[in-house]
Structures are given as C-alpha cells and as structure tokens.
Chains A and B, each alone.
Chain A
Amino acid sequence: MDLRFLEASPSKVEKNAIDVALVGTDCGRDQLLPALHAANDAVGWISEGALNHICRRLSVPPAEAYGVATFYSLFSMQERPRKVVHVCVDLACKVNGAEALVAAQTDFVVRSPCLGVCERAPAALAVEAGGDASYLMPELPLPQLGDSSLRLLRRVGTVDPLSLDDYRAAGGYAALRNAFLLGPQGVIREVTDAKLMGRGGAAFPTGRKWAATAGQPGRPHYLVCNADESEPGTFKDRVLMEGDPFAVIEAMTVAAYATGCTRGYLYIRGEYPRAFAALTNAISVAHERGFLGSNIMGQPGFEFDVEIRRGAGAYICGEETAIFNSIEGFRGEPRSKPPFPVEKGLFGKPTVVNNVETLANVLLILTEGCQAFHQVGTPQSTGSKLFCVSGTVPKPGVYEVPFGTTLRELLELAGGVEDLRAVLLGGAAGGFLRADEIDLPLTMEDARAAGTTLGSGVVLVLDGTVDVGGFLLRIAEFFRDESCGQCVPCRIGTVRQEEALHRIVQRKGDAQDLLLLRDVGQVMRDSSICGLGQTAWNAIESAIDRLGVQL
C-alpha cells in the first residue's frame, strides 16, 4: 500500500518499546493493539511520533490507527503525568464511598468504570508509565476458602497459581488426558449431555456451539477465550484467572481439541494486571513443559497455541464479535449477525468464543463425567455457578453455589443484609429484584420465569442507605460512555435516556420524560446492532416497573 505517514518521530523510549513488542510477530494489522499498549505503557500516552512509528511498522494508515487508539479509554492521546490512579466510580464502588476515595488522591485521577474488584470496593488501580500497575486496596481471601464443597474454586487460594507442578498435583491436566481418550466428538458429547450453558450472560448451550464450530469445513478454526469481564459488578473470572490460571489454559486446550482449533486468543480486559501476569506465566510455563505447542502431552498431531491479548478499556469488546475486531486491530465495534462466529468469526474463520467460567466448568465435566456434573444444580441449570456478591453487604466476594440456591441463602452466606432495599441481579444489563423477591431460586429458568436474568452472576446489594436515583444515573452514564457509537439507537439513545433520567432524578421531569425513556428504550431494544444497546435500558426499566421507584 502507498500510505502517507506523518513527519513526527518517536522518542528512543517509545521506539524501543514498540519494536520490542513487535519482535517475533509478522507485523500484521492484528499487532496494532499490542503496539499501542507498548507505547502507552512506556510513557503513559500515545504521541504523534509513537503512533507514526507503529503505523510504519505495521503498514496501517495513520487515520485508522488514530481511530483505533481513540476508541479505547485506557489510551491517552494527550501527555499526562506518568502516574495515573484509576478510581472506580461504578456501581459497587459508588455505594461504598468512591467519591471520598477520588477526593483523597494526590496523584492524577481518572474516573474509571467498574474495575472488576468490587469485593474490595471502593477500588483504585495505580498505573505508572514504564512500571507496574497495582491495586491500592488490601488483599481479601476468598470468602468460602477451605469449604470442601467448592468445585470451580477449589484451587483458588490453596494452590500456587504460578506453579504447574502444584496445579498438576491438585488434579490439573486430568481433564485434557480424559479428553484425548474420548476424542473430539466424545468431548463435545459429554459437554452437550452435561447441558452446560455459557456463563458470560447469554446462557447459550456450549455443546451446540462447539458442535457447530467443529463441523465447519473452513480452516483454520479459532478459539477465543472471552476474559474481557467488564459488566459492572462482575469479578468472578478475575478470581479464577488470578487464582487458577493453568485451569484456564487447560480448558482452552480441551476446547481447541474438541473444535479443531490450532490457535487460541485469550482476550483479557486491560484493567486486570494480576490476572494478566498469572496467565502470561501459565502460558509460558505450559509451553516449556509441552502442554502447549505441538504434540501436546504426547498426543500426536495435536497442535495448539495461545496468544494473550489485553483489552484497553472498552466494555463493548466483551461482545463476541467486537472482540474479533479488537483482536484484528480494528475498532471494537460489533459486527452484524448473521453470519455468526461459528461460521465466520475471527479473521473470517469459524470461531468458538467461550467465557472463562464456562471453560472452567468443562474441566469438571471431563474429570467427574457428565452424570456427576448433572447431579449438582437443577435439571435445566446444571452444575454450580459463581456469583459476584457486592454492594452494601458484610462479606462481599465470589461465591460458588449450586444452581437452585435461593438468593436469600446466597445473601446469608455473605453475612445477611439488614434493611435490604433491592438487589441488582445480572449486572447493569440485568434487572432489580425487590426485598420480597429474594426467595427466587437462582437458575436460568427461574430467573427467566421471573422476568429477569442471572446475566454474568452479579448480585449487587442495595440497602436503605443507597441513593437509588444516583445509582440509576450511574447505570445510564455507564452505557452512554461505553456505547461504541456505531448505530443510532444506542449512540444517541443512551444520551437521551441519561438526559431524561437527570431531569427526573432532579425532580424537573414530567410524564413526558417517562414516556421518552420507554420510547427510547424500545427502539434501543428493537433496533440496536448488539446486546449492549438491546439491554442498556433493562435495569432502569426494572427499577421503574419492579421496584416502583418513584421517579
């Protein structure tokens, strides 16, 4: 291509950081996001010179690279202090004193959407250019640590996450060995018979997704592990990745074996530095020891590699097609479906996308067998589920309970709640339950029958002290900020909803504003391209209709 570049040159530090990041790659467009990270990490922002150098190395037009860089909130296009503190002002932190934490900072503050550490709210992450990122809150052990009934979480906090030997001593890589005995079709049959449903929010049957991808004639097939956990109030995948990273890699390997993938991408959100470090280590150790690469565990002809990709601050990139665009080096905008990922996904090839928790369940199915897996949970919602309990609750954290446990039982595990006002179930795209509805059994089918959703497992508790109007405004603000801007209903609709909600909360609104909320909500649900726009109004609607919030 005959591209026109800029005159600007990178500094030595920028040039070096970018060049190091590109060593060993084919300098394709898909290296754009890693290269932008390299520049931003090295000096704290992306200068014209750095962008230009990236464009020259990758043969990307500067206007397009600028368009991609400005899509992500973790990248700054203006020079800023080397140390930046990202203070979470999202739902769980908002009700736990986020504003006081903002006020207490002496460094440069960025007000951040949910950082995914809601159990330690209010949360803040300090990032220093050329250095490390670290949480400003003390560590908190798993609330159920030591509980012998834990299955998905059994290694978290008890096994050294950096040691492959410890992982193997604790049952690691037994599932992959069993997978090789079953053969790819056998693995898919087990997963299908186990009735495993996706844990990312959409609850799609995993076995069906795998069978559909495995049967596609196009090659290669790709696997994407969706670790872009960004739904406000969700932090279960982070806990799994930080505490049991080899399990994620093993489960990806099993999925790849079953669906005929030779390459996998682990797309992790940019705000998870500890999980990123744990997984990077796991991939490199697994490679050294023959658990990734070719002839894995001596299985002749089976080849699989995992590349880890960091997101850069965009909730939308957790959407299953936006994640492809982000990996490929384009703006993380969702694609129009059909075609579906199983047919035409990453790089236009058949692709299977699975959430971290979904994959963790696959290991259980293959070690216990699908019959045993079935015995936990309910006939339709099989297995156990991780719930992210946060908000105004004594013992917040990730809890593993069998499907069918009631919300009341879960809240009691977390220390009980006096003066319970409401629970936000499923996240910002989920819905509210009233205090008198907490006997709801937590299953996919009961949630659906009750007109709500378990979503990504968010259980955000609000007691009588919470300013509900301000809480709803934050939900509206979140979707306005995180809309990718591609389609009109979501791009402008989220703005109009936030404006109307502002008027209503400030008591300047009228009946027209309520009608406006409903009208705009309906067009977003009917005509947005992706799930973000289609569900952006769910929580606010349920606050009006279910909580009877007098707006």
Chain B
Amino acid sequence: MTIVDIGLPRRLVEFTLDGEQVTVPEGATILSACKDMPTLCYGDTLEPANACRVCMVEVEGSRTLVPSCSRKVEPGMVVNTDTERTRHSRRLVLELLGSATDLSTTPQVADWMADVGADPARFGPDAATVAQPAKVDNVLYVRDYSKCIMCYKCVDACGDQWQNTFAIAVAGRGFDAHISTEFSAPLPDSACVYCGNCIEVCPTGALSFRREYDKRAEGTWDESAQSATTTVCTFCGVGCNLTLHVQDNEIVKVTSPHESSVTHGNLCIKGRFGWQHVQNP
C-alpha cells in the first residue's frame, strides 16, 4: 500500500479568472488554475524561477503584469490572461527569446509564436545572439548553450532543490549571463555526477543526451517513431521509475515520470545512462 501525504486540509479561495468565478485551494498559484498557459522556466518539480516572463497575466490593481507561475491567488483577485497587454508582452518576450536563442528544439514554442504573431526576425540580421559551439566534453550528454534561455532550471535541479551537487551556476551578468561550471571547467573536471537531472528539466533541448545529439546531427532522430515504456530501474533497491524512449529497437534516452513519488523525475547516473548493456548483450 502506498501512503500519500495529502497535507493539511486547505481553505478554498475564490477569484475571477477571465470573467469566471474559480475556486482554488489557498496557496495555489494563478497558473494552477489556467488552462494552456505557455510556460518555459516553470518546472512542475521546481520552485518558480520567474525568469522567462512568458506566463504573464494582468491582475486588476497591479501596475505591472504578474507572473502566473509564482503569484499566489488572493481572495477576490481579478485576473485576465488574454488581453491586449498580455498578448503584447507574450509576443515581445517570444520575439526577444527567438531573436537571441535557437528555439528549434523547444516544444510548442512555434505554436505560441504563431498565436500571438511573433516575428523574431524583426530585430534584423545583426541582432546579438547567444550562438556558440555546443560543448561536447563527455560521452553522456551535450550542452548546447545556443539554445539556452537562462531559465535557471538546470541550476536549481543540480543545486539545493534536488541533487545538491552544485556543479553549475549562473555566471556573468546581463546578456552575458550564462550557465557555467567554476572557471568554465569542462564537465569531467567539474563536480558533475552525471545524474542528468538537468537534462530532465531543460525546456529547450540545450541539454540533451549524447545519443540524441548525435542522431539529430545524423538526421536520424525521429520522435514520431519512438515509443516510451515506463519500468523500474534494476540497479538498486530504491525502485526508481524509468521511462525508456526507444527508436528502432534502441534505447535513445531515459527519463523518469515527474509524478513518481520515488523520483520526482530525478535519477542517478546508472538509471539515466546505464543502459548500454541492454544493446550490447
């Protein structure tokens, strides 16, 4: 039998969301009551980073727009998610991100851009970007920071929110801010333990399995031809759930269900990367 901690009973809070009365438990965020709200830096297993500003909504009485991912609902709050101001903000945020970053492997972003009419090319061909060569310094995973939107999720997953390894942090400032090890040391010289929990939370594909990176380079990566099978890791007695992503009868990456009460999406190096023996009997 599984014992699930449902916590203390919470009072309910009523507020107005896009003209409708909505009731949520006290302490819930605006985002939790929204359907189909675009998000990038929000992570279902992480504290809100408040960085990407994609999920901004209009709250009556507030001078600025507010991030729905972190703002808690207050009784009587009047929230509008789809106004001229929120659409302008979302369009500009996506245009700015798209003009500086390679979003080609970011799921759904093309749809969001089309929805608000975002045109990242409007800033001209000379607009500064974060384009740089991918960091391929180990056999397990690749860091392609041309695709990094600085959502802070990998840093949080590596640090005190999950792994407590602290191999990476945000370094630099402003447009030069970037994810880095100390003195930009290659991963094998850093504190990295290759748990891959950063890959699990990366929203843009800036962090990816080496196998995925190589197959994309070869042009053989095909998500439509992949199946996902959730099983239990065989390495130790913890019983972590693994989801094996298989293409052409080959495991191409391993994730873990975020709702798993054992892993919350996190694994160790063995569960995340230790499956080559399956292919090489």
Residues from chain B with a CB closer than 8 A to the CB of A486 are 50-51, 150, 177
For residue A469, give the distance in angstroms from its CB to the closest CB of chain B: 19
Give Cα distance in the complex from A345 to B51, angstroms. 20
Residues from chain A with a CB closer than 8 A to the CB of B71 are 338
For residue A31, give the distance in angstroms from its CB to the closest CB of chain B: 18
Beyond contacts A4-B191, A499-B128, A528-B64: 14 other A-B pairs, Cβ-Cβ < 8 A, are: A63-B166, A63-B180, A66-B180, A70-B180, A314-B173, A487-B51, A488-B52, A488-B54, A488-B96, A491-B175, A492-B97, A499-B124, A499-B127, A527-B65
Which of B54, B65, B169, B173 gathers most chain A CB within 10 Å? Answer: B173
Residues from chain B with a CB closer than 8 A to the CB of A481 are 174
Give Cα distance in the complex from A70 to B177, angstroms. 9
Select one of A48, A492, A519 contacting B175, CB under 8 A.
Answer: A492
Give Cα distance in the complex from A282 to B167, angstroms. 42
Kindly state whether residue A526 has any CB partner on chain B within 8 Å: yes
Select one of B150, B159, B168, B190 contacting A485, CB under 8 A.
Answer: B150
Whether the pair A488, B174 counts as a contact (CB closer than 8 A) is: no
Kindly state whether residue A140 has any CB partner on chain B within 8 Å: no
Residues from chain B with a CB closer than 8 A to the CB of A495 are 100, 127-128, 175
Residues from chain B with a CB closer than 8 A to the CB of A61 are 159, 166-167, 169, 191
Whether the pair B64, A527 counts as a contact (CB closer than 8 A) is: yes
* Residue on B nearest A5 in the bound complex, by CB: B191
Whether the pair B164, A1 counts as a contact (CB closer than 8 A) is: yes
Kindly state whether residue B70 has any CB partner on chain A within 8 Å: yes
Select one of A482, A494, A499, A525 contacting B64, CB under 8 A.
Answer: A525
Select one of B52, B67, B96, B169 contacting A63, CB under 8 A.
Answer: B169
Whether the pair B51, A484 counts as a contact (CB closer than 8 A) is: no
For residue B202, give the distance in angstroms from its CB to the closest CB of chain A: 16
Within 147-175 of B, Cβ neighbours of A (below 8 Å) are at: 149-150, 159, 164, 166-175
B43-65 vs A, CB cutoff 8 Å, 1 = contact: the mask equals: 00000101111101000000011
Give Cα distance in the complex from A488 to B54, angstroms. 9
**A522-B122 contact, Cβ under 8 Å, with A63-B191, A527-B56:** no
7 closest Cβ pairs, A-B complex: A485-B177, A61-B166, A67-B169, A523-B92, A62-B182, A4-B191, A492-B96
Whether the pair B93, A488 counts as a contact (CB closer than 8 A) is: yes
Kindly state whether residue A161 has any CB partner on chain B within 8 Å: no
Kindly state whether residue A529 has any CB partner on chain B within 8 Å: yes
Whether the pair B53, A487 counts as a contact (CB closer than 8 A) is: yes
**A483-B175 contact, Cβ under 8 Å, with A66-B182, A516-B122:** yes
A48-86 vs B, CB cutoff 8 Å, 1 = contact: the mask equals: 100100000000011111110011010001000000000
Within 78-134 of B, Cβ neighbours of A (below 8 Å) are at: 85, 88-89, 92-93, 96-97, 99-100, 122-124, 126-128
Kindly state whether residue B183 has any CB partner on chain A within 8 Å: yes
Whether the pair A63, B53 counts as a contact (CB closer than 8 A) is: no
Give Cα distance in the complex from A494 to B127, angstroms. 12
For residue B190, give the distance in angstroms from its CB to the closest CB of chain A: 7
Within 1-42 of A, Cβ neighbours of B (below 8 Å) are at: 1, 3-4, 6
Kindly state whether residue B181 has any CB partner on chain A within 8 Å: yes
For residue B102, give the distance in angstroms from its CB to the closest CB of chain A: 14
For residue A340, give the distance in angstroms from its CB to the closest CB of chain B: 13
Residues of B within 8 A of A (CB-CB), count: 49
Residues of B with Cβ closer than 8 Å to A?
48, 50-54, 56, 64-65, 67, 70-71, 85, 88-89, 92-93, 96-97, 99-100, 122-124, 126-128, 149-150, 159, 164, 166-177, 180-183, 190-191
Select one of A62, A70, A482, A489 contacting B191, CB under 8 A.
Answer: A62
Give Cα distance in the complex from A496 to B120, angstroms. 11
For residue A509, give the distance in angstroms from its CB to the closest CB of chain B: 10
Whether the pair B96, A496 counts as a contact (CB closer than 8 A) is: yes
Q: How many A-B residue pairs have CB under 8 A?
A: 159
Give Cα distance in the complex from A3 to B191, angstroms. 8
Residues from chain B with a CB closer than 8 A to the CB of A338 are 71
**A522-B175 contact, Cβ under 8 Å, with A66-B182, A499-B127:** no
Kindly state whether residue A336 has any CB partner on chain B within 8 Å: yes
Select one of A51, A67, A71, A526 contacting B65, CB under 8 A.
Answer: A526
Select one of A6, A485, A496, A519 contacting B99, CB under 8 A.
Answer: A496
Whether the pair B67, A336 counts as a contact (CB closer than 8 A) is: yes
Which of B128, B174, B181 gathers most chain A CB within 10 Å? Answer: B174
Residues from chain A with a CB closer than 8 A to the CB of B126 are 499
Kindly state whether residue A520 has any CB partner on chain B within 8 Å: yes
Whether the pair A480, B93 counts as a contact (CB closer than 8 A) is: no
Whether the pair A483, B89 counts as a contact (CB closer than 8 A) is: no
Kindly state whether residue A426 has any CB partner on chain B within 8 Å: no
Select one of A314, A488, A516 contacting B149, CB under 8 A.
Answer: A488
* Residue on A nearest B167 in the bound complex, by CB: A63
Whether the pair B127, A496 counts as a contact (CB closer than 8 A) is: yes
Kindly state whether residue A331 has any CB partner on chain B within 8 Å: yes
Residues from chain B with a CB closer than 8 A to the CB of A64 are 159, 166, 169
Residues from chain A with a CB closer than 8 A to the CB of B174 are 480-485, 491, 494
Give Cα distance in the complex from A486 to B92, angstroms. 16
Residues from chain A with a CB closer than 8 A to the CB of B54 are 488
Sample of 30 A–B contacts (CB below 8 Å): A63-B169, A63-B180, A63-B181, A63-B182, A63-B190, A64-B169, A66-B171, A70-B172, A71-B173, A336-B50, A480-B174, A482-B174, A483-B174, A485-B174, A486-B150, A487-B50, A487-B53, A488-B96, A488-B97, A489-B96, A493-B92, A496-B96, A499-B123, A499-B127, A516-B123, A520-B96, A525-B64, A526-B56, A526-B65, A528-B64
Give Cα distance in the complex from A187 to B51, angstroms. 40
Residues from chain B with a CB closer than 8 A to the CB of A71 are 171-173
For residue A2, give the distance in angstroms from its CB to the closest CB of chain B: 8
A189-210 vs B, CB cutoff 8 Å, 1 = contact: the mask equals: 0000000000000000000000
Whether the pair B166, A485 counts as a contact (CB closer than 8 A) is: no
Residues from chain B with a CB closer than 8 A to the CB of A66 are 169, 171, 180-183
For residue A276, give the distance in angstroms from its CB to the closest CB of chain B: 23
Which of A63, A67, A336, A523 gathers most chain B CB within 10 Å? Answer: A63
For residue A328, give the distance in angstroms from its CB to the closest CB of chain B: 14
Select one of B53, B100, B149 contacting A489, CB under 8 A.
Answer: B53
For residue A60, give the distance in angstroms from its CB to the closest CB of chain B: 9
